[in-house]
Structure 1
Amino acid sequence: MNEFSSVDKSVFNKALLNPSAIALIGASSNLKKNTARPLLFMKKHGFNGEIYPVNPGADRILGEKVYPSVADLPEGIEHAFVMIDSAGVESVIEQCAARKIPVVTIYSDGFGEAGPQGMQKQQQLLEKAKQLGVRLLGPNSIGSANIQTGAIISVNAVFEMDNLLKGDISLVSQSGSMMGSLMSRAVARGFGFSKTVSVGNECDISTGEIVDALVDDDSTRVILLFLETLRDTATLTKALKRARQAGKPVITYKLGRSEQGDALSQSHTGAIAGNNAAIDAYFQANGVIRVNSLETLFEIAPLVSRYAHLRPAAYAETPVRVAVITTTGGGAATVVDNLGLAGIEAVAPTTEFIGQMAARGLNIRQTPVIDLTLAATSDQYRDLLNELVKTDWCDAVLSVVGSSAQFHPQLAIKPILETFESGNANNKPLVVFLSPDAPESLKLLQAANIGAFRTPEGCADALAAFFRPVIQDTEPAATEEFVLGEDYPQTGNFNEAEANRLFAHLGIPQAASQLVSTTDLAHQVPYPLVLKVVSRDILHKTDVGGVSINIQNDQHLQEAAQSMLAKVEKNAPAALIEGLYIQQMEGRLIELMLGYRHDPLVGPTVILSTGGITAELNPDFSIRTAPVSLTEARQMINEVQYTKLIRGYRNLPEGDCEGLAQAIVNFSKLALIRKQPVAEAEINPLFIQKDKVIAVDGVIRLKD
């Protein structure tokens, strides 16, 4: 919980998710109003706890005694839902504190979402709650619900449905309206819920705290997050770690890019791997499964909960292989096409497997889709599924069911249900795509906790998300913090000499170099040389003519220096020139870029990508939250396609990949600099040679 919380964790968890005594402050006697809904919903869905409506103008509502004020309430209330004008909320919080109510949800709006004045009012409310030891959900929260007990502390119209399906999925949403939309879609498909929570403005109780509470909730098995942004990532990170340890999958659908994001970036790093990529890296580092389509958010739950232990720990060198079995050629083609777009390969059976099935009485062909249309009995279909999940030539099995799913649901999916009942399907992911609109078949599959999908896009999205690797904590990354000495800049940009000196201090090999003045070019660096302008006002020297290569002798050096200074004066007249940088030319097998960026939402990130001045034109990169471990660094190398050129591709000379991995680890230690944290940094290019790596250019910018 937040560091200022004075509420015991077990008390907090119960009051938030499983309260048995609830006050409805501002409950209306007019049953057509939103503020009458929580009481209506709890009556409708069988809440057996105590309900305390508060309304100075009514005596009873739906048979419940009404209290004129919060001060008149008895003690022992765990959760209050505030539905009054924002002007009176602070006073109500004081009254709730006096009645020792630990958690208060604020439905009232007019706070942080209403602009600067509303934000100031929200901050004052939070400070008051902190002083009084009351935890706040919201403001501007549409409420929460415990579907298991019927404690519907919400005005969301979705709870007007007659039958709320109870299940083991819990949903946390930063959008109240989308929470209702998701629930209505999911319930219509046979998905049941345990808890739902709308966080509203998230001024106090955060998404991370709610996830943490759900980890301890026995009736929650899968946690869904609908996110508009990330807040309080420190708390969320701890909660996600606990979720992984507890074996509770966390699945998220997150809206677009940060409002701040890439506008802050002055480096190639931000252009190549912006805020959205950083968020992906954060989710991956913390075991969160991110989906791209809204419906997949709940559709993927059975797949993930059943097969979480089979998710990969690293990116494979080859595409994920899926064996597709179908009774509808056209339907299979649509899903195979979408699998391909997601980087997943529909793979043909091996010759050996074809012979194996022939011996069992079923003839199949060596095509990417095993088509059984009009060619197999139900028993043969089941037998084929049972054999497919035992093979080693595919990573998953996809059953595409045709029109019979719509008209004969019991018959169409009987072989699939029997395969799961046998236990064989536990060895390998087996999922289903129903080509027609077949709600009854979908409900039968859902009831058996089988991953079943209504659209080919959703099916492909789910498989791609499932096979996205889980970053394993095989060994810890560095954690020892350090502070920059006074011989480094304390604000703004480093010049290249300063940046390279810091990189060398971190353990990254450097090309031999020397800083000289613009008038005295005497140096000890052997020819051939590279000459660069030195200015903390110029981050990208090539853009202003500030680099000259392949200098062979002193005369050439003098001429190159004069020409360079003239170009820089013309192209960057306001730049302060601090000298010239003389560097020994180095050869390479390939050149890469190491980039570092302190993302405004997720914090420090590091990327490895193709290098040079064209790095942004064809992004090929891997990204992680920083600092990284050596295992993560090795994974990053394998994820960048360009590095195949130094990893034995077509017998090309191999480079020092282990030295590269160590350089990534050392570079990522920029995240450990405190007091003067780094906003952005780059080594571009980083030369990869046969037996070493060499940094030949460096950029560092400190946070403002």
Structure 2
Amino acid sequence: MPSPSFALALLSPRSIALVGVSGDASKNTARPLLFMRKHGFKGDVYPVNPARKEVLGEPAYPDLASLPAPVDHVFIMVPGQHVLGLLEPCAAAGAKVVTVYSDGFGESGDEGGRRQEQLVQRARELGLRILGPNSIGLADIPAGAIISVNAAFAADDLIAGDVSIVSQSGSMMGSLLSRAAARGFGFAKSVSVGNESDISVGEVVDALVDDAQTRVILLFLETIRESPVLAAALRRAHAAGKPVIAYKLGRSRQGGELSQSHTGAIAGNDAAVDAFFRAHGVIRVHMLETLFEIVPLVARYAQQTPFLNRSPRVAVITTTGGGAATVVDSLGMHGLQAVAPPMEFIDHMAGRGLALRQTPVIDLTLAATSAQYKDLLEQLLAAPWCDAVLSVVGSSAQFHPDLAVRPLIEADKPAGKPLAAFLAPHAPESLARLQENSIAAFRTPEACADALAAFLGRARPSPPPPRGGGAAFSWPAGMARSGLLTEYEAGQILGRLGLRVARTRMVAPGDLRHDIPYPVAVKVCSRDIAHKTDAGGVRVGVADDADLQRQVHAMLGEVGRRLPQARVEGILVQKMEDRLIELILGFRRDPLVGPIVVLGAGGIAAELSEDFSVRLAPVDLATAHEMIKEVRITQLVRGYRGLPEADCDALAADIAAFSRLASVSGASVAEAEINPLFVRRDGAIAVDALISLH
């Protein structure tokens, strides 16, 4: 939790120095002074410009040492090479936060990165906090404290609201603010973190948790930095009842570059980020428009609407058949079900004078008065067979708002059942009326579906990991502590975790004696070969001793041709196991969010499948069961059409145990994988394993 003085100096400063402010009103560096004058900032503003005695009609000071009083916040707008020398005067002037607009630091390459490191180190020595460099600035909009060069603040009237926004993109901040303003959304605080060299997104979120003017926090993210700090802030936001909504770039998968295992390709950085958001209660949207339009939905219903462990059911009521069809299609693409009313409800409404049909869309195009529409809304909002109600309004939104818009406003709306609207025509007046009454209204079917899916699909935050990490076990003495383990060594580690491993013997190429009954599988054992199948290092169904000799000879020859530099440490002879299905169970330390565990469809084509579940590691048994249910192929062993069922309790225990690789003492596991993991009636058994250490 940041100190109160830091949070106030960052978000609500009362005295501000503008270093490098220009007297030319056409320049970017003149904007902060112009903006604060225009929007009525009541605090003290000190222009600092050694070349002028006044700036835009305000007295100017040659340097920070000449200021008549201490300042909370300094905004530096001078060339990058002069910034470092200004830090000591900033500290002497009493500043607690310095925002650096100047560029030429970490974003410009190695030399700029070194300058940035020097800047942060010196700031820490002086007790200063740095926002930026390369930050477009920040704003306390209700107070008019616009410490920013963003042209969006040139608007004649800034709408003050209870939403605050934090952005890693300075260039996008103006777009975000202007788009929101065009929809009537007002802001409390806006913060551009720039290079995030010192003050991180997580620290800003943490400060906003304690900001009395902030009710909802929006994030525009390009990446995640300092994930433990952000995680702690997100937990505080949830506990304080302040929803966090995020839009993050970089959804494309580049998993092939991430790791030696299939796990990296299956669950790339974006899947890991999704798991991070899920674990900390963040509502992630995938469209920029949704970032704003979802706010009334979240602000009104987040505290009372229950978390769902199934596909959400949406009751759709419409006055335009075509418009409703576009939304229903979009809902389906997001995994939401437009649910038809049951016969009991149809009979109930018939008794109230309204005839309905049992279809996924309740079409009232010609059938209902405004009073009947309002009554139907209230009955749907009280009905147990749907989780949300969506009103799709046609041309009446533009020409006859009393028919379908006024009932939305006047209907009795319980706190635990979300109500949203999609207006098919361009109807700005109706949109404004709905927003004034805190009703989420959407301009496109895609944003509407994105918002409902994000909100209804949100997850209850996971509890924080135990103090001390809850170590699974201590690393065995004598075993390698870096690089790739052999499969034989990996099997020993899995055994220590409590997982069952297929019975295996390691033998020498020249002495293949073993005690495992035929048929067997044979594999090359080498810490230089991550994927034995790709190297020709696996044979299955070996029938007898003679066949074993032939297969090993052929296998070693093929491995030698494909990977001549690989060192072979032995031959693994393994019992052939049966199974109901094959899964992959993976672990990886994601560079953005830390340890994750992955469960998915397994086998040699594992990474070709989109069938997987990801969580931050370690996980408990309840979370492991959630993961099992999320992997579609597991339906085959969970009672599907009378097929044999697996022991999913034992499988969940294996997932939880495996995830504790996140907290092994004495070594750091970079990634690990069981592929395939044979799922059986009596639990699961690891048939092949990979473990790589930092």
**CA distance 1:76–1:410, shift in 2 (3 Å):** farther
Counterpart pick for 1:458 among 443, 447, 472:
447
Q: Is 2:87 aligned against 1:93?
A: yes
Partner of 1:512: 503
> Please, which of 457, 468, 479 is the counterpart of residue 457 of structure 2?
468
Partners of 2:273 and 2:593 within 8 A in 1: yes
- Indicate conservation of the 8 Å contact 1:23/1:81, yes or no: yes
Q: Deviations over 1:443-487 (max 9, x none)?
A: 111122211111101001111111224144369679323552332
Task: Tell me, in whole angstroms, the C-alpha distance in 2 between the residues paired with 1:441 and 1:684.
Answer: 55
Q: Please tell me the residue identity of whatever aligns with 1:521.
A: L
User: Using a 3 Å threshold, how does the CA distance of structure 1 residues 258 and 452 change in structure 2: closer, same or farther?
Assistant: closer
3-state SS of paired residue (2:288): coil
Cα deviation, residue 261, structure 1: 6.0
C-alpha distance in 2 between matches for 1:156 and 1:231 = 24
The partner residue of 1:529 within 520, 533, 544 is 520
Match of 1:251 in 2: 245
Alignment partner for residue 495 of structure 1, among 479, 486, 489?
486
Equivalents in 2 of 1:512, 1:485: separation in Å? 20
State the distance in 2 between where 1:377 and 1:477 align: 58
Partner residue, 1:205 = 199
CA 1:460–1:683 in 2, change beyond 3 Å: closer, same or farther?
Answer: same
Select 2:610's aligned residue among 615, 619, 634: 619
Give the alignment's TM-score, normalised by structure 1: 0.95
State how 1:239-638 maps to structure 2 within 5 Å: 239-256=233-250, 262-309=256-303, 313=307, 315-316=309-310, 319-409=311-401, 412-419=404-411, 422=412, 424-473=413-462, 479-481=469-471, 483-638=474-629
Whether the aligned pair in 2 keeps the contact of 1:335 and 1:459 (CA below 8 Å) is yes
8 A Cα contact 2:32 2:146, kept in partner:
yes
CA–CA distance in structure 2, aligned partners of residues 43 and 614 of structure 1: 63
Q: Judge which range, 332-341 or 560-569, deviates more.
A: 560-569
Deviations 1:476-501 (A, max 9, x none): 67932355233221221111000000
Q: Does structure 2 conserve the Cα–Cα contact (< 8 Å) formed by 1:344 and 1:464?
A: yes
Aligned pairs (5 A) from 1:116-155? 116-155=110-149
Q: CA deviation at 1:676?
A: 3.4
**Further displaced range: 539-548 or 46-55:** 539-548
Give the Cα separation in 2 of the matches to 1:205 and 1:651: 56
- The Cα of 1:530 is off from its aligned counterpart by 1.5
The alpha carbon displacement at 1:311 in A equals 5.5
Give the deviation of 1:566 after TM superposition: 2.3
- How far apart are the structure 2 equivalents of 1:648 and 1:348? 27
Pair 1:225-2:214 in alignment: no
Choose 198-207 or 265-274, whichever is displaced more: 265-274
Q: Is contact 1:74–1:99 with CA below 8 Å preserved after alignment?
A: no
- Whole-angstrom CA distance in 1 between matches of 2:79 and 2:464: 52
* Cα shift at 1:234: 1.4
Q: Distance in 1 between matches of 2:238 and 2:245?
A: 12
* Displacement of 1:310: 5.2
Which among 32, 35, 41 is matched to residue 47 of structure 1? 41
1:193 corresponds to = 187
Asked if the contact 1:51/1:64 (under 8 Å) is kept, the reply is: no
Q: Deviations over 1:602-649 (max 9, x none)?
A: 111110011111212222100011111111111000000100111111
Residues 606 and 553 of structure 1: is their aligned pair in 2 closer, same or farther, counting only changes over 3 Å?
same
How many percent identity over aligned positions? Answer: 59
Name the structure 2 match of 1:157: 151
Counterpart amino acid of residue 68 in structure 1: P
Contact 1:314–1:635, Cα closer than 8 Å, also in 2: no
- Identify which range, 171-180 or 527-536, moves more after superposition: 527-536
Tell me whether 388-397 or 542-551 shows the greater mean CA deviation: 542-551
- Structure 1 Cα separation of the partners of residues 589 and 439 of structure 2: 40
- Cross-structure match for 1:5: none
Secondary structure in 2 aligned to 1:452? strand
1:71 is the counterpart of 2:70: no
| Residue identity matched to 1:655 | A
Structure 2 contact 258–268 (Cα < 8 Å) conserved? no
| Separation (CA, whole Å) in 1 of partners of 2:84 and 2:558 | 63
Q: Give 5+ residue unaligned stretches, structure 1.
A: 2-7
Q: 1:445 to 1:350 in 2, by over 3 A?
A: same
1 CA distance for matches of 2:592 and 2:252?
Answer: 8
Deviation of residue 156 (structure 1)? 0.4
Q: In angstroms, what is the RMSD of aligned CA positions?
A: 1.8
Distance 1:262 1:385 in 2: 49
* Distance in structure 2 (CA, Å) of the matches to 1:147 and 1:531: 69
User: Tell me, which stretches of 5 or more residues in structure 2 are unaligned?
Assistant: none
Q: Is the 8 A contact 2:140 2:189 kept in 1?
A: yes
Deviation at 1:64, TM superposition (A): 2.6
Residue among 91, 96, 103 paired with 1:102: 96
Aligned partners of 1:261 and 1:600 also within 8 Å: no
Contact 2:677 2:686 in 1 (8 A): yes
Q: Is the 8 A contact 2:255 2:267 kept in 1?
A: no
Do 2:306 and 2:416's aligned partners in 1 also have CA atoms closer than 8 Å?
A: no
Report the equivalent of 1:697.
Answer: 688
